[in-house]
Chain A
């Protein structure tokens, strides 16, 4: 399954029933260099839209909301010592958490890459 994007500038890459979640390259550019990332606890159960992570730049702390409902099965522990990995590889090594999806239909509303690029263009205008 291809990577999907949300209007909150998150991406989710679904493999079977596990979704890997991060923020988009656009989002990290808006935030600036990150100095701290707080990931959720493994085992936590989140509803779609619940606060999952906090990413902090010098300027401010910003919440990252879970795009989907489910249980956190893995978090990116490397970010504790290297938060700028999110800046360098937002849509790769800078992933935030993996979630076991409880409702696959939640994915239907998300954009594919082409739609997300179009969405960013509209934001620019």
Chain B
């Protein structure tokens, strides 16, 4: 157990990180992500309210669908990344545990006069991820089999009304389920009783998301890093670009037009030595050109993998780099992400 964003969290269960990781890719892993911030934003103008903080197109979200976006600051840096889901009469917002104390007051203030923020304190959040997730859950709630990636439904699981989205943080097909706290233990136990399901800790959560090329706030995203540097331009719609009505638009639109100075890239180290966050990246035989922000051993990749930021002129796939790992310069190259193909269910 380790302290994480004010919670005591398991790094691993008895199976261990590598086994938990591989089980999630092969069958299904159950993650307790109740530490994440959950909130409702009520009111007809809720989408307009949240768009004051994010560059994503929330007004265009159809009921029953969700979207990945980020809160930006006036300098175009990222305050947090989050998922916003349209539940018809209200938006559901899930933010990072480590940032919820910053995000939620910002959202409340932005919503003032437009919408009403209701912070959800009485619901747990779990994720069931992996190729068996659909089979396991649809045995308990048949409606869940057919829903596509990033859609949302309210359905009974074991007689309990749950909010389910088909989403996750592993690159696998899977679900995130918001459940009343009083019922979480029974549902989690029922899921764990299934022979395909194994509980998974923070360690494998990190290796799974790294292989999937997904950002971790605080490592790969921060208040200095723009969505364009982070390779998240795809989250900003044409309407929002044309309107330019989000915090940090000057920098973000400028980088969209001219290209950012630095870019987030996948990095494949040669050999077996993991290159961890903070490792300085050099041009092959040359100067420092960037820093690794997430790196380690990928259990499915079978070796070291990393992501980091490099000067834009070093960001093309195939570019040769060197990583300063302790006293060694480890050869590496820029590679396309993800390291493991996404297997989202598109319907």
Partner of A61 from the list B272, B276, B299 (CB cut-off 8 Å) is: B276
Given contacts A58-B17, A59-B11, A61-B276, contact A36 B326 (CB under 8 A): no
Given contacts A59-B17, A61-B276, contact A36 B297 (CB under 8 A): yes
| B203 in contact with A35 (CB, 8 Å) | no
Q: Which chain B residue lies CB-closest to A37?
A: B272
A120 at the interface (CB under 8 A from B): no
B273 at the interface (CB under 8 A from A): yes
Chain A 81-98 interface residues, beta-carbon cutoff 8 Å to B: 81, 83
Number of interface residues of B (CB under 8 A): 16
Query: How many A-B contacts at CB < 8 Å in the complex?
Result: 37
A-B contact pairs, 22 of them (CB 8 A): A32-B12, A32-B17, A33-B18, A35-B272, A35-B297, A35-B304, A36-B274, A36-B297, A56-B273, A56-B274, A56-B297, A57-B17, A58-B207, A58-B296, A58-B299, A59-B11, A59-B17, A61-B274, A61-B276, A80-B272, A81-B272, A83-B272
Q: Which residues of B contact A59 (CB under 8 A)?
A: 11, 17, 203
Number of interface residues of A (CB under 8 A): 14
| A58 in contact with B276 (CB, 8 Å) | no
**What's the nearest-Cβ distance from chain A to residue B170, in Å?**
15
A42 at the interface (CB under 8 A from B): no
A47 at the interface (CB under 8 A from B): no
Chain B 286-307 interface residues, beta-carbon cutoff 8 Å to A: 296-297, 299, 304
| A38 in contact with B17 (CB, 8 Å) | no
Please encode chain B, from 249 to 289, with 1 for each CB lying within 8 Å of some chain A CB and 0 for all others: 00000000000000000000000111010000000000000
Partner of A38 from the list B18, B276, B304, B326 (CB cut-off 8 Å) is: B326
Q: Which residues of A contact B11 (CB under 8 A)?
A: 59
A104 at the interface (CB under 8 A from B): no
Q: Which chain B residue lies CB-closest to A35?
A: B297
B16 at the interface (CB under 8 A from A): yes
Q: Which residues of B contact A54 (CB under 8 A)?
A: 326
CA distance A38 to B272 in the complex (A): 10
**What's the nearest-Cβ distance from chain B to residue A86, in Å?**
14
Q: Which residues of B contact A83 (CB under 8 A)?
A: 272
**What's the nearest-Cβ distance from chain A to residue B238, in Å?**
41
Chain B 187-219 interface residues, beta-carbon cutoff 8 Å to A: 203, 207
Q: Which chain A residue lies CB-closest to B204?
A: A58
CA distance A57 to B296 in the complex (A): 9
